[in-house]
Amino acid sequence: MAEQPLQPDARVEDLDLSMRRVHGANLEGAKFTETYLEGADISGDIAGLLINGVEVEPLIRAELDRREPRRLALRSTEIEGLRQAWSMLEGVWQAATERVARLPEDIQLIRVDGEWSFVETLRHLVFATDCWVLRAVRLESRPYHPWGLPWSGVGQQSAEAVGLDTSAAPGLELILPVRLERQGLVRSTLETLTDADLLEVRTAPDEPGHPSGEHSVLQCLHVLMNEEWEHHRYAVRDLDQLEAGTVST
């Protein structure tokens, strides 16, 4: 029997998650008290998280910016800054892709520690581009490439409703031209936009898909660039293990 979901405001006592791996959990609005986090490793969207009364996301963002100043460009509010940020992202992804292309094909498809493989990551970024640039900025009603890979948790029926092929399993050689074409579409879109366009609020087409509703052009571009940066970080982290032969699948 499937486990019943907890009701809102439910209280869980003495839950032992030590040495467990929790993936894709939704903890929005959750409250932890008398909690032990020694040695815990948390990643994800942590906006508004308080630990011992301190909001930690601004502190983490500042530290990550200190470690990698190129992150600052991703939050530019001017079109020229965003163009430079996209050029930087294309460069780091080209370097990573050249690294993975030198690996045997079966290694390219390995999921390190249960995360997406490099090829699956490229497929997800195709989907993210379709969502946030082709649909939300360019207002195309059916922008999705069938090899796009949505975030985990999207059901098969929902994926197929927007034209995704849930049985597809393209390798690097097949997905790379699609990825490069989508990168080119972002580049050309940025070339046509102005600073005034970034403030414009656009409404996604009234067709099944993500996102829906209204978003500013700037918000859409920021979402995509954050996706590109974070997934590159994960991909390179895993690629280091693949190249070293120290892989936990």
User: What is the tens place of the pLDDT at every residue in 170-204?
Assistant: 999 999 999 999 999 999 999 999 999 999 999 99
Burial (CB count <10 Å: 0-12, 13-18, 19+), residue 61: middle
Supply the pTM of this predicted model. 0.86
Residues 122 and 168 sit within 8 Å (Cβ to Cβ): no
- Classify domain 73-244 at the CATH topology level: Four Helix Bundle (Hemerythrin (Met), subunit A) (1.20.120)
Say how far residue 116 (Cα) sits from the centre of its chain.
11
User: What is the tens place of the pLDDT at every residue in 42-100?
Assistant: 877 788 888 899 999 899 889 988 998 899 999 999 999 999 999 999 999 999 999 99
Domain borders along the chain are: 73-244
